[in-house]
Structure 1
Amino acid sequence: MDKQTVGMLQVVAGAVCWGSLGVLGAALNRLSFEGAEVAALRIVIAAALLLAALPYFRPYLRGLTLRQLPMLAVQSFIGMLGMSLLYFAAVARVGSSLAVALLYTAPVWSLIFARVLLGEGITRGQAVLTVVAAAGVGLTMTGGAAVDAVGIAAGLGSGICYALYGVLGKRAMAGNPPMRVFFTSIGCSALVLLLMPDTWQAFGKLLGQAWPAWLSALALALVGTVAAFALFVKGLEKMPAARASVFTVFEPLTAVLLAALLLGERLGGLQYAGVVLIVAAAVLNALPRRALR
C-alpha cells in the first residue's frame, strides 16, 4: 500500500472518529448530562489522557516560550472550549445530525475570517459556495417544532469557533508543531473548565452512573478527540492538506448515519437536502483554489 493511500485511510479514520462525537454526546444527554457537562467531560478526560502520555508529547513541548502562550491560549479558548460548549449545546437541542451539519459551515466562516483577519481574497466560486451553504442552513431550519432557534444558533456558533480555530491556527502554528498546538488546546481549556461548577457537577453525576455513561465519556475523549486528531495529523504527513480536507466529509456522514442507526434520529427531506448542500459546499471549498475561480 503506497504512502498516500495510507494517509488517506488515516484521515478517513480520523474523520470517522470525529463523527462519533455527536452520537456520544447525545447518549450522555439521554443520561441527564447537559451540553456544557458533556463538553467538560470530553476536554478534561482528554487532558488526563494527554498527561498520561506526557513522555510522548515532551519533545514537542520543548522550546515553548511564554511569548507563544497567549496565541495558543486564545486558540484553545475559541477553537476547543468554545466549539465544544456550543457544539454539544446544539446536539442537546437539535440532535446530532443537524448539529454536525451546522458545525460543517466552518469552511465558509473560514473564508470570511481569512479575508477579515489575514487579508486573503475570496474568489467568485467561493462566494457562490458561501451562498450554497447559507441555503443549506436555511433548509435545515424547515423542521418546524422539531428545530429551535437557540439550537441552530449554537450549531452555527460552533462552526464559527471551529473556523477561527483554523484561521488562528495559521498564526499559532508558526514555530509550533501540530502536536504542541493540540496539547495546549486541550490543556488550556481543561484548566479553565476545572474552575467551572459544571465540570465538577458533571464528574459528580458520572460517579453515580453505570458503565454505559463511563464508556461514552471515555470514548468522547479517547476516540472523538485524541485518536481523531492523531490520525488526522499522521495522515496529513503523507498527503497534501487540500486533498486531506476532502476526506473529512466522512465526519458528517458518520454523524448522520450513527444518529439514524443508534439514536433513531430522522430528519425531513428538506433538512437532509440542507445537510447535503452544506457538506457539498465544504468539500468543494477544499478543492484547489484554481477550481473555484
Structure 2
Amino acid sequence: MNRQTLGMLQIIAAAVCWGALGFFGTMLNRAGFDGIQIAMLRILIAALILLAAFPYFRPLLRSINRRQVPVLVAQSLIGVLGMSLLYFIAITRVGSALAVALLYTSPAWSLLFSRILLGEAITPKAALLTAVAVSGVALTMSGGIRLDLLGIIIGLGSGICYALYGVLGKAAMSGVQPMAVLFTSIVVSGLVLLPFPATHQTFRQLAAAEPHIWLTAVSLSFIGTLSAFTLFIKGLEKMPAARAAVFTVIEPFTAVLLAATLLGEQLSLPQYLGVLLIIAAAALNAGGRRKPSVAAQGKAV
C-alpha cells in the first residue's frame, strides 16, 4: 500500500469516526442525558484521556508561544466548547441527520468571517457555493416529522462556532503542532466545565447508569474525538490538505446513514435534498482549494 492510499484510508476512517458522534449522542440522549450533558461527557472524558497521556504531549506543547495562547483559548471556548454544546443540543431537538447537515454550513460562515476578520476576498464561486448551502438549509426547514425552528437555529450556531474555530486559528496556529492544539482545546474546555454543579450531576448520573451507557460515553470521546483527530492528522501528513478535506465530507454521509439505519430517523424528501445540497457545497468548497484550508488546519473537533 502506497503512502497516499494509506493517507486516504486514514482520512476516511477519521470522517467515519466523526460521523458516529451523532449516533453516540442520540444513544446517550435516549438514556436520559440532555444535549449539554452529552457535550460535557464528550469533552471531560476526552480531557481525562489526554491528561493521562501528558508525558507524550509535553514536548509538543513547547511549539506554542505566549502570544498564541489567547487565540487558542478563544478557539477552545468557541470551536470546541461552543460547537459541542450547540451541536449536541441540536441533535436532541432535530436529530443527528439534520444536526450534522447544519454543522456543515460552516464553509459558508467561514467565507463570511474570513472576509470580516481576515480581509479575504469573496470569489464568485465561493458566493455560489454559499447560496447552494443556504438553499439546502431552507429545504431542511420545509417540513418533516421533527421540524423545530429553534433546533435549526441552534444547529446553525454550531456551524458558526465550527467556522470561527478555523478562522481564528488560521494565523495563530502557524508553527503549532496539531496534536498540541487538540490537547489545549480539549483540556481548556474541560477546565471551564469542571466547576459547574451540572458537571458533577452528569457524572453521578453516568455512574448510576448501565455499563453499556458508560461504553457509549467513552466511545463518544475516544472514537468520535481523539481517534478521529489522530487519524486525520496522520492522513494529512501523507496528502495535500485540499484533497484530505474532500474525504472528510464522508462525515455527514456517515451521520445520515447511521441516523436512518440504526436510529430510525425519518426525513421528508425535501429535507434529504437539503442535506445533499449542504454536503455538495462543502465537498465542492473543499475540492476547489489549492492551499491548506481553514478546515484542514483547524479540524480538532
Q: If the length of structure 1 is used for normalisation, what is the TM-score? A: 0.96
Pairing 1:47–2:54 present? no
User: Partner of 1:118 in structure 2?
Assistant: 118
CA distance in 2, matches of 1:154, 1:195: 25
Shift of the alpha carbon at 1:67?
3.1
Q: Secondary structure at the match of 1:224?
A: helix
1:1-150 superposed matches below 5 A:
1-144=1-144, 146-150=146-150
Quick one: distance in 2 between partners of 1:121 and 1:176? 26
Letter paired with 2:204: G
The runs of 5 or more residues in structure 2 that have no matched partner are: 291-301
Matched, 1:151 2:146: no
Structure 1 Cα separation of the partners of residues 287 and 122 of structure 2:
14
After superposing the two structures, state which structure 1 stretch, 201-210 or 145-154, moved more.
Answer: 145-154
Superposed displacement of residue 175, structure 1: 2.9
**Aligned residues of 2:45 and 2:221 also touching (Cα < 8 A):** yes
Deviation at 1:174, TM superposition (A): 1.9
Percent identity between the two aligned chains = 63
Query: Does the 8 Å contact 2:144/2:267 carry over to 1?
Result: no
- CA distance, structure 2, for counterparts of residue 33 and residue 224 of structure 1: 17
Query: Which stretches in structure 1 are left out of the alignment for 5+ residues?
Result: none
* Cα drift, residue 137 of structure 1: 0.2
Q: CA deviation at 1:62?
A: 2.2
Aligned residues: 290
Partner Cα distance (1:171, 1:219) in 2: 32
Report the equivalent of 1:215. Answer: 215
1:285 maps to 285
Q: Secondary structure at the match of 1:68?
A: helix
Counterpart in the other structure of 2:249: 249
Is the CA contact (8 Å cut-off) linking 1:104 and 1:282 kept in structure 2? yes
CA contact (8 A) 1:249 1:283 kept: yes
Determine the C-alpha separation between the residues in 1 that align with 2:146 and 2:182. Answer: 36
Q: Residue 228 of structure 2 corresponds to which residue in structure 1?
A: 228
Provide the rounded CA distance (Å) in 1 between the counterparts of 2:77 and 2:17.
Answer: 22
Deviation by residue 1:63-121 (Cα, 9 ceiling, x = unmatched)? 54443221110010000000000000000000000000000001111111111111111
Retained in 2: the 8 A contact 1:40–1:198?
no
Letter in 2 for 1:225: T
CA contact (8 A) 1:96 1:255 kept: yes
Runs of 4 or more consecutive aligned structure 1 residues displaced over 4 Å after TM superposition: none
Any conservation in 2 of the 1:172–1:181 contact (CA below 8 Å)?
A: no
| Conservation of the 8 A alpha-carbon contact between 2:68 and 2:173 | no
SS at match of 2:67: coil
Task: Give yes or no for contact 1:36–1:198 (8 Å, CA) kept in 2.
Answer: no
2:185 partner amino acid:
S
